[in-house]
Amino acid sequence: MKKILLIVLCFTLLFSFVACSGYVSSYKALMFVREEHTDHASIRFSSLEGTYVMKLKMKGEGQEGSIHCVASLEEGEINVWYDALGTKELLFNLKAGESIDEHLGYVESGKTVYVIVETVTPAKEGKITIDLRKS
């Protein structure tokens, strides 16, 4: 019985390691509101510290696009990264009092895009909206 239980436990652990994506959210937040769809995601927060990961996918076949970013931050500093081709790249950095509204980053249709929000210093009163848009 112990052998069977040990085998089941090993398979469960193996499956959990294989099934996970490479990015994990680990954050502490106050008044945190999130919205995620296939090709759109947004977060709003009163305070945020840590890492938050959004998983998006470009709709359509054989089309390319870009990542449209709208963000603002009252206090602190954040880095927003993306991974669409297997490499984590900096999308933008936002410091206290700054905002951004730009098309950044390259996306292929059908590919999964990870957007990773990391606080450099604790962030307050922020909004981040990410849209995958076809070219």
CA–chain centroid gap for 70, Å, is 14
pLDDT tens for 116-130 read 999 999 999 999 999
Domains of the chain: 23-134 (2.60.120)
Tokens found for residue 85: 């081709």
pLDDT tens for 58-83 read 877 777 888 999 999 999 999 999 99
Reported pTM: 0.79
CB contact at 8 A, 132 and 56? yes
